């Protein structure tokens, strides 16, 4: 998987979609009804997650770090940077890394994603 050129391109385009400030561009990488859970939380529609981050971090950048093949599916590793200047923002800069464990369907779309990052570090940076 980590040497699959098409999946590598998919992952790069997915990261670029996160930088677009358009949650529907992110949602286009998901199968109909596709969702994400973050740090073991409930499954949430991806456009809702994207909308929240894009609102809170209008300058957000998501970089594609690597794609790792695991027995349970590909892991999309990323780094997020942004400044919390959204409607209730405090102006703090955040930089976190994490990954999403993907289940890819036959149409090469994400059927389900399980996102993971250090929430305590994120909250610490957010609070300043």
Structural domain of residue 80, as residue ranges? 5-127
At 89-102, the pLDDT tens digits run 999 999 999 999 99
Give the H/E segment covering residue 15. helix 5-18
At 37-83, the pLDDT tens digits run 999 999 999 999 999 999 999 999 999 999 999 999 999 999 999 99
Q: Are the CB atoms for 64 and 2 separated by under 8 Å?
A: no
pLDDT, position 3: 67
In this prediction the pTM is 0.93
Q: Are the CB atoms for 6 and 47 separated by under 8 Å?
A: no
Domain count across the chain: 1
Report the CATH number that the domain containing residue 48 is assigned in CATH. Answer: 3.10.450.50
Q: How far apart are CA 9 and CA 71, in angstroms?
A: 21
């Amino acid at each position: 998987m980590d040497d699959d050129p098409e999946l590598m391109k998919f992952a790069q385009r997915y990261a670029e979609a996160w930088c677009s400030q358009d949650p529907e561009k992110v949602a286009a990488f998901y199968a109909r009804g596709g969702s994400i859970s973050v740090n073991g939380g409930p499954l949430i529609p991806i456009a809702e997650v994207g909308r929240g981050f894009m609102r809170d971090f209008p300058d957000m950048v998501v970089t594609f770090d690597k794609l790792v093949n695991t027995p349970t599916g590909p892991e999309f590793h990323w780094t997020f940077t942004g400044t919390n200047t959204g409607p209730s923002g405090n102006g703090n800069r955040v930089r976190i890394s994490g990954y999403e464990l993907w289940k890819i369907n036959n149409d090469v779309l994400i059927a389900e994603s399980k996102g993971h990052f250090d929430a305590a570090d994120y909250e610490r940076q957010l609070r300043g």
